[in-house]
């Protein structure tokens, strides 16, 4: 590892022609998310948007990319890349930011599910699937002589074989529970009904915190129902990838992929609908404020409706934004102004330090 040259870069995987793996962390590359990105390259991970199935999830806007940078958006074929059966993860630390290599500041990458656009380009650190993929690649599971049951996409801990490594939002012995929170009381189950229910989380600014603050909830609906979530207003740190103060909602059935994130000021309420009957809601904050107000209810799953019901079908439920449920009577900015607590700017390094400490202390991170 070196910092003698300019830029942040590494070769992908082992280069047998070299006597040593070269990984350069130049000036400006010190953030944990950047260093872990380059280290993951060295361990064998390509950029996420280089996957051969990317066109199912994102669109590349070539008109905003200089021809000399087309190569940076090249697709790696199936013969040279193994995804290990894992879904495309827009929240991977290996995914480009939405404006990467833009010639005019506009988006060069657009998520086909528009609710996922703000999830793209996070620098917090490796996602759950980033770590899981490397564990699979290096056969870390062979460390365990016994097998245990892990659900919701969790897997057996390679160095503590009686414990599961669970996707964010999940916890417990077999990943059926809710991830623990900090503070502990900011945690629980929200039971959805046919009538909308309002829920607010307001993590106020603090001058001192002993770790990343987290609130974890699961919105639950009866079997055969889908959950409609309307995000009325958000207060957070508006950065690409929403990896600092903000909220994440896991609307897909596959809970291993990073969910839809919100951290920027909303012009109007955003409405999403789940694929299944459980939606993990995760709000994170360092020292700065994180706030979200949302409403939730359930609707029938399309498979449980007769054709004459209309309105809700498998087709118009994807992407997961539903114009049908938008409520123009709610003023997102008025809610934001009501709860916003003016504070001095919080240095990004404050959150960076908390995140680095969290990863270093987390025994579930095994690469």
Confidence (pLDDT) at 329: 74
**129 backbone φψ class: left, alpha, beta (φ>0; ψ -120 to 50):** alpha
Residue 305 pLDDT more than 70? no
Range in 53-62, 238-247, 316-325, 355-364 with the lowest mean pLDDT: 316-325
Confidence (pLDDT) at 73: 97
Residue 109 pLDDT more than 90? yes
Report domain extents, the chain.
Answer: 8-125, 187-347
Higher local confidence (pLDDT), 31 or 292: 292
Confidence (pLDDT) at 211: 85
Confidence (pLDDT) at 344: 64
Task: Give the contacts of 80 (CB within 8 A, at least 6 positions apart).
Answer: none
- 33 band by pLDDT with thresholds 50, 70 and 90: confident
Q: Which two tokens stand for residue 139?
A: 């056969």
- Name the CATH superfamily housing domain 8-125: Collagenase (Catalytic Domain) (3.40.390.10)
Give yes or no: 38 in active site: yes
Enter the pTM of the model.
0.88
Answer yes or no: are the C-beta atoms of 146 and 266 closer than 8 Å: no
Q: What is the mean pLDDT of residues 154-178?
A: 97
Compute the radius of gyration of the chain from its Cα atoms.
21
Instruction: Write down the mean pLDDT value for the chain.
Output: 88
Range in 44-48, 249-253, 341-345 with the lowest mean pLDDT: 341-345
Three-class SS string for 237-270? Answer: CCCCCCCCCEEEECCCCCCCCCCEEECCCCCCCE
Q: How far is CA 303 from CA 40, 137, 253, 317, 341, in A?
A: 41, 37, 15, 12, 45
The catalytically annotated residue of 38, 100, 245, 248 is 38
- 362 band by pLDDT with thresholds 50, 70 and 90: low
Q: Confirm whether residue 47 is marked as ligand binding.
A: yes
Q: Confirm whether residue 37 is marked as ligand binding.
A: yes
Residue 206 pLDDT more than 50? yes
Residue 317 pLDDT more than 60? no
- 347 band by pLDDT with thresholds 50, 70 and 90: low
Helix H or strand E encompassing 131: helix 128-137
CATH of domain 187-347: 2.60.120.290
Higher local confidence (pLDDT), 210 or 69: 69
């Amino acid at each position: 590892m070196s910092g003698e040259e300019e830029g942040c870069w590494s070769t992908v995987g082992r280069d047998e022609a070299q006597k040593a793996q070269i990984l350069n962390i130049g000036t400006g590359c010190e953030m944990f998310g950047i260093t872990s990105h380059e280290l993951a390259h060295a361990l064998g991970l390509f950029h996420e948007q280089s996957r051969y199935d990317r066109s199912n999830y994102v669109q590349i806007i070539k008109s905003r990319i200089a021809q000399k940078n087309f190569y940076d958006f090249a697709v790696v074929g199936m013969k040279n890349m193994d995804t290990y059966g894992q879904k495309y993860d827009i929240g991977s630390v290996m995914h480009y930011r939405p404006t990467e290599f833009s010639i005019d500041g506009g988006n060069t990458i657009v998520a086909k599910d528009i609710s996922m656009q703000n999830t793209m380009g996070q620098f917090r650190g490796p996602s759950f699937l980033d770590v899981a993929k490397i564990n699979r690649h290096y056969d870390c599971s062979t460390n365990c002589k016994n097998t245990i049951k892990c659900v919701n996409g969790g897997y057996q801990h390679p160095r503590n074989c009686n414990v599961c490594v669970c996707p964010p939002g999940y916890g417990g012995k077999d990943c059926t529970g809710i991830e623990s929170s900090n503070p502990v009381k900011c945690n629980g189950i929200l039971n959805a009904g046919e009538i909308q229910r309002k829920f607010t989380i307001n993590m106020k600014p603090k001058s001192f915190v002993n770790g990343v603050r987290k609130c974890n909830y699961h919105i639950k609906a009866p079997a055969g129902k889908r959950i409609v979530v309307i995000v009325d207003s958000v207060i957070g740190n508006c950065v690409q990838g929403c990896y600092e103060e903000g909220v994440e909602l896991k609307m897909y059935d596959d809970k291993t992929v990073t969910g839809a994130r919100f951290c920027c000021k909303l012009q109007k309420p955003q409405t999403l609908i789940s694929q299944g009957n459980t939606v993990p809601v995760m709000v994170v904050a360092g020292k700065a404020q994180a706030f979200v107000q949302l409403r939730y209810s359930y609707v029938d799953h399309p498979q449980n409706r007769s054709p004459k019901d209309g309105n809700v079908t498998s087709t118009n439920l994807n992407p997961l934004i539903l114009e049908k449920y938008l409520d123009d009577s709610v003023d997102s900015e008025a809610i934001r102004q009501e709860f916003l607590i003016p504070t001095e700017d919080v240095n990004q390094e404050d959150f960076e330090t908390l995140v680095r400490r969290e990863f270093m202390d987390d025994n579930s991170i095994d690469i």
